[in-house]
A and B are shown apart, each in its own frame.
Chain A
Amino acid sequence: MSYKCSRCKRDVQLDEYGGVRCPYCGHRVLLKERSRDVKEVDVQ
């Protein structure tokens, strides 16, 4: 899963062992980036 560290703004890859923590700066707040897929929405 790809996230972005909210402190150092670097891209972070998380695996199931490392826990939720930025490997570069140790910050525990990570942000999920929007995927690059095209999203189709109906007008309602």
Chain B
Amino acid sequence: MSAEYDVEFVEREDREARFLVRGVTPGFANGIRRAMVADVPTMAIDTVRFVENSSVMFDEQLALRLGLVPLTTPPVGEFGEDETVTLSIDVEGPATAYSGDLVSSDDLVEPADENVPIIELKDGQRLEAEADAVIDRGKDHAKHQGGVAVGYRHLQRVEVEGDLPEFEDEESRIIRGVIEDDGELVSTSEFDHDLSNRYPGKEVRIEDVPNAFVFHVETDGSFPIEELVTRAADTIAERATELEDAVQL
């Protein structure tokens, strides 16, 4: 495997990105994907103390909903595995309790979104609770998944082989992902995922570019995309050194 990877962004936003990585094996690409889903530690609520809950839902159901609220995760090393951050919520009906109503004791750990509904409270109903958030990995509970909707596809190369026969009907040719056309990266959404829109009247050949993968990554808001990918790579490196140390008796 080559020592250097070539990374190129196709789309880049705060929480969502599409990027091309060249020079990785399929196994390593999948390793990165799995690390992003299951091995990057994120904060999430783990225990809830209910002071008052006169809403229509059980404490356990509300606790689960609170647990699934994405929280921002502090930089690496800021929090230990057994440290907790307390968040509190106090909403009185008639109102809807949103994730934005959670008040954190630490500025580094706050709800990533303010608009996640927790429960609708009617007149006279009240929800008052205190919750402890801990840091853990996605493989232990889905609420700790930092990367959501993480996947990859082969980069596809499109070559024009010639013209279609004169009287042949044009058939649509649907592909998804990113294509490479003379070194230029084009998302298939630009031509409605149909190659016959981009190359009308042409006969084209598609092939996967070996060892080039286009990742599509989305985070739950715990941290930006760059953080997620680098932390995922770090966890792989950590486990690799752990294995190396273990076999060198």
Contacts and interface: CB of A to CB of B under 8 A. Distances in A.
A25 B237 CA distance: 73
A39 B58 CA distance: 11
Range of interface residues on chain A?
A: under 10
A34 to B, nearest CB: 7
Nearest to B130: A38
A38 B88 CA distance: 14
A44 B141 CA distance: 8
Contacts of B84: none
Contacts of B143: 43
Interface residues of B, number: 18
B192 to A, nearest CB: 43
Contact of B64 (A34, A39, A40, A43): A43
B187 interface: no
Contacts of A39: 49-50, 59
A39 B51 CA distance: 7
A41 B49 CA distance: 6
Interface in A2-44: 34, 38-44
A32 to B, nearest CB: 14
A41 B54 contact: no
Given A39-B59, A41-B60, A44-B64, A34 B47 contact: no
Q: Which 3 A-B pairs have the closest CB atoms?
A: A43-B67, A41-B63, A39-B50
Given A43-B64, A43-B66, 11 more contacts: A34-B53, A34-B54, A40-B48, A40-B50, A41-B47, A41-B48, A41-B60, A41-B63, A43-B141, A43-B143, A44-B60
